[in-house]
Amino acid sequence: MRAVDTNVLVRFLIRDDQQQAARARKVMEQGVFIPKTVLLETAWVLRYTYEFDRTAVAEALEKVCGLPEVVVEDIAIVTQALTWYTSGFDFADALHLAASAKADSFYSFDRALAKKAKAASTIPILVP
């Protein structure tokens, strides 16, 4: 199975370059593996380059993750991160926390993250 980079995924979703979008669609239709880091970067590009709002970013990522020809790295972690993202977490923070679920605690200087994590009943966030 082939893996895709962020630029292929973005072209597939945005279709702002018709030639690249067609090539991206063809690659995606043949079956691909998407690393969670590519999803993280794609979320950032959609949010800050294309000015998608949180709902549109989540919908785009959920759409891609749900395609039958797509395999996503650690889909359970990504699914949890998307759930937290739609509830107000930063996607990167949500992905970090979801990937750390087996840890006893998570150290961060980000007090806002700690507050959100506590409200969501995730692992304890500790400020060193």
pLDDT tens-digit series, residues 44-63 = 999 999 999 999 999 999 99
Q: Is residue 91 part of a domain?
A: no
C-alpha–C-alpha distance, residues 113 and 90, integer Å: 8
Q: Is residue 127 part of a domain?
A: no
What domain range includes position 47?
A: 2-73
Helices assigned H by DSSP within the chain: 6-14, 18-29, 36-48, 54-65, 75-86, 91-99, 111-119
The pLDDT profile of the chain, 128 residues, written as one tens digit per residue, is 899 999 999 999 999 999 999 999 999 999 999 999 999 999 999 999 999 999 999 999 999 999 999 999 999 999 999 999 999 999 999 999 999 989 988 899 998 898 888 888 778 887 77
Q: Is residue 24 part of a domain?
A: yes
Total structural domains within the chain = 1
pTM above 0.85, yes or no: yes
Nearest residue to 104 via CA among 81, 89, 122, 116: 122
Q: Is residue 68 part of a domain?
A: yes
Q: Is residue 81 part of a domain?
A: no
C-alpha–C-alpha distance, residues 65 and 60, integer Å: 9
What are the two backbone dihedrals, phi and then psi, of residue 40, each rounded to the nearest 5 degrees? -60, -50
Q: Is residue 107 part of a domain?
A: no
Q: Is residue 22 part of a domain?
A: yes
Q: Is residue 99 part of a domain?
A: no
